[in-house]
Structures are given as C-alpha cells and as structure tokens.
Amino acid sequence: MLKPEVNELLTRTGPGTPMGDLFRQYWIPALLAEELPEPGSPPVRIKLLSERLIAFRNDAGEFGLIDEFCAHRGVSLWFGKVEGDGLRCAYHGWKYGVTGQCIEVPSEPEERGLARKIKLVGYPLVKVGDVLWTHMGDPAQRPPLPEWEFATVPPEQTYTSKRWQECNWLQALEGGIDSSHVSWLHSGGLKSDPLFKGARGNQYNLSDYKPFFEVADAAGGLFIGARRNAEEGHYYWRITPWVMPNFTMVPPRGDHPVHGHFWVPIDDENCWAYSFDYHPVRALTSDEVQAMRDGFGVHNEYVPGTYRPLQNKDNDYLMDREAQRRGETFSGVKGIAAQDFSLQESMGPIVDRSKERLVSTDAGIIQARRRLRKAATALRERGQTPPGVDPEHQKVRSAAVVLPRDQAFIDASRELLTVRPGVRQASV
C-alpha cells in the first residue's frame, strides 16, 4: 500500500516533477531506428515524459529531436518538410536544424539575424542497436551512451519491437518485476509459445505455483529471485534484474533468446513498452525472428500502420471465453504480451496504490518503489546521480538456474548475472 502522495510522486514524470527529473538523468529509448530509416525520412511525432516532440533526420543523415511546435505561431512541425540540413515549417517556411536552432526566417532580411536568436528545445538522438536514444536532461550532466547488451551485440543476434500501452509506466514496470504471475496468467503460453516452450525450466514453473521471493541489491537496482521447488535437495531460481528506473529482463528459458523491456513514459497515463529479444552468442534463427514479427513471446501484433496492439481495450483484447474455458489461455487473451498489457491497462490509467493489499510475492515491487523514491529524493535534495546512469550498471543479465537448497541465490549466481561477452546465458 502506498500513500496517495507517494503514488503521485512515483507516477508523474512531466517536466519539473521529482520522477520527471529522475528520468531526465538517463538515456531512454525515444524511437525505433526503423522509424527514421534513412536520410530525409519524414518527421515523426513523439511524446516523451509529457513533452511533445518531433524526431527527424536531415538529408545528411543526422538525427534531431526537437519541440513539436514552431516558434513562430505554434504550428506542428509534423507537417513540415525535411530540406537539406533541417526541417522547414509548413506554414511560413521557418527552418530548424537538428539541435532545434532556427536557421532561416524567409520573410525577414537576413542581416537582421533573427533566426540566430531563435532556438527550440532540442535533445540528442543517437542510434545504439535498433533503438534511437535520447537524454532529456541537463547537457552538462549527460552520461556516456548506453551499453545494454541487447543493443550492443551484433545486429543478427537481436530484435526489438515497441508498443503503445495505455497506462502509467509504473504499473507496466511492476508487471515486469513480478514473476509470480507467470505460473498463472502465462501458463498456456509456457506450453505453446514458440519462443517459450520446450525448456526444462517450464516444468518447475508449472508444477510449483507458490514461488518464494528473495530480493538482493544491485549497483543499478535490484536482482529479484523467485524460487520454486526442483529435484530433491534443489531449487529452481528465476532471477530478474531491474535497473533503474525502467529496465527489466525476463529470466531465460532453455536456449531461447533472452527478452526484456523498457517502460518509457509517454505521459502519466500512457507508456511505450520496448520489448527486446537477443541471444548473447548466436544469431537469431529465421524462425525465431518470424515468430517475433508474428507477435509471439514478448512481442505483439499491430493495428496496421501503427504501434498500437491489434488486441486493445477498444476490442476487449479479442478475449475468447471458450479458449479460457478450455484452459488454452488463463485469461482468455491470446499472446503473452497482450495477457500482460490487458491486465495492466484494466487497473486504470494510474492505479490507486492506497487500496492494494501486497503479499510476500510482491517483495520486488516494494523494494523497487522504495529505491525509486529514495533516488528521486536524493537527486532533488543533494543532486545525487542515481543508480543505473553508469554504463557499468547496465551490464546485467537475467538467469534461470537450479541450485542446491542451502545456497543463497545471489552468491551462487553473481557472475551469471553479469554480461560476459561470448559466454552463453545461464538458463535451464
């Protein structure tokens, strides 16, 4: 249970809010690289942390992320046209460069130098892996570029999708931290999803519905261990890393690619879920990539031409009562991703956490909220750089391991939870 003012603090990320300031310390996913595939690609509207922005790529191939609205009389630059080194407003032709600097005011004589005095808000936009990243905070505090493993392995080993999720970022993140729902909500998918099925570990998931949770501190956030019974004298541990503020990884299954998420606030009632799948040591097979494109695993199908899921709240996520009755799906909703976001959206745009009743399986969520609150306060009061900004904190992996009962999960698997280039993920 959270006091309403704490819920408010953790869920609001607009300019000037404590969590908004926290998010502005990090490089966060702004777009998929496929949205601006080539020099001169048409501009894309994007809202991040409650700020309305335009992303574009000039004819030289440079990326820009600037205020959506023209400094002249506030027209959306989405109607604008990429021209040479910048983006030209469709109303009276003012032109902006990739930093947001106005570079031409055609109606005014050049010698007045008006353009030089006008600058829109502009943020960096940098491609690392399949994602375009931005840092929306103080340029003087800009950290080194992100070094997440999924974004730095060779391109043939990784795949990223994104989807619009119609709820606050925190309840989406909390779904990524809480692995106790897997034995219930995703029980059907463990048996049938091509990116999940067939792993030995699934048997432990399906035969022990009462995981015990243990949480350990990490430099960048937490490692959340979920323990289930395995063979005599052993436990099956699924270990989820959470790196502040919005990165989680799902523990692997067999030799399937490993997946995870970023939950990026669009505004306080919507977020982008970036979902990635990668394999640390091998190329993804064409069957795997096809399954990802078809919406299996952590991915989903789309309303054509958009990043909105095909199953969405306007069509009740295509819920199928018959499939639920037959036990094919636990909630009647098809697909692991849609199972998650349908329930998270059903909580309302911002769930009222003063009414919840947390239990022992929510230990990871409780700790994560505590860490977020502490970091937001330390930043505000002492200017302290939060965990997860340092690229070293980003070099984590999830793991699924069987350990003797007397071994502490964190001691036994510390090395396995660290990125080791060229070494396979720890998985059963």
The binder of 345, among Fe ion, ligand FES, none, by C-beta within 5 to 8 A per type, is none
Q: What's the min distance (Å) between Cβ of 118 and ligand FES?
A: 11
343 and 166 in contact (C-beta within 8 Å)?
Answer: no
Selected binder of Fe ion within 340, 351, 367, 401 (CB under 5 A): 340
Binding to ligand FES, residues 331-390 (CB under 6 A): none
Residues with Cβ within 8 Å of 321's Cβ and at least 6 positions away in sequence, in order, are 332
* Both tokens assigned to 354: 């003063």
Q: Does 26 bind ligand FES (CB under 6 A)?
A: no
Q: What's the min distance (Å) between Cβ of 182 and Fe ion?
A: 6
Q: What's the min distance (Å) between Cβ of 102 and ligand FES?
A: 10
User: Which one, 68 or 340, has the nearer CB to Fe ion?
Assistant: 340
Binding to ligand FES, residues 66-125 (CB under 6 A): 70, 72-73, 75, 89, 91-94
Say how many residues touch ligand FES, by CB under 6 A.
9
* Both tokens assigned to 330: 């636990």
Q: Does 345 bind Fe ion (CB under 5 A)?
A: no
Q: Where are the alpha helices (DSSP H) in 256-362?
A: 286-293, 321-326, 336-346
3-state secondary structure of 158: strand
The binder of 75, among Fe ion, ligand FES, none, by C-beta within 5 to 8 A per type, is ligand FES
Tokens 């391109």 sit on residue: 155
* Both tokens assigned to 15: 């300019």
Q: What's the min distance (Å) between Cβ of 383 and Fe ion?
A: 36
The binder of 89, among ligand FES, Fe ion, none, by C-beta within 5 to 8 A per type, is ligand FES
Widest pairwise Cα distance in the chain: 84
The binder of 45, among ligand FES, Fe ion, none, by C-beta within 5 to 8 A per type, is none
Q: What's the min distance (Å) between Cβ of 171 and ligand FES?
A: 38
206 and 197 in contact (C-beta within 8 Å)?
Answer: no
427 and 253 in contact (C-beta within 8 Å)?
Answer: yes
Between helices 169-177 and 4-11, what is the axis angle to 10°?
90
Neighbours of 210 (CB within 10 A): 11
Between helices 363-382 and 169-177, what is the axis angle to 10°?
130
Tell me the residue type at 202: N
Q: Does 67 bind Fe ion (CB under 5 A)?
A: no
The binder of 380, among ligand FES, Fe ion, none, by C-beta within 5 to 8 A per type, is none
3-state secondary structure of 14: coil
Closest residue to Fe ion: CB criterion: 340
CA torsion angle for 248, 251, 253, 256 (degrees, to 10)?
A: 40
* Both tokens assigned to 75: 């027209």
The binder of 340, among ligand FES, Fe ion, none, by C-beta within 5 to 8 A per type, is Fe ion
Say how many residues touch Fe ion, by CB under 5 A.
1
**Could you tell me the CA-to-CA distances from 241 to 250, 316, 364, 376, 423 in Å, in that order?**
8, 31, 10, 20, 18
Q: Does 212 bind ligand FES (CB under 6 A)?
A: no
Q: Does 56 bind ligand FES (CB under 6 A)?
A: no
User: Which one, 75 or 412, has the nearer CB to ligand FES?
Assistant: 75
Q: What's the min distance (Å) between Cβ of 321 and ligand FES?
A: 52
User: Which one, 94 or 123, has the nearer CB to ligand FES?
Assistant: 94
In the complex, the residues that contact ligand FES under the rule CB under 6 A are 70, 72-73, 75, 89, 91-94
In the complex, the residues that contact Fe ion under the rule CB under 5 A are 340
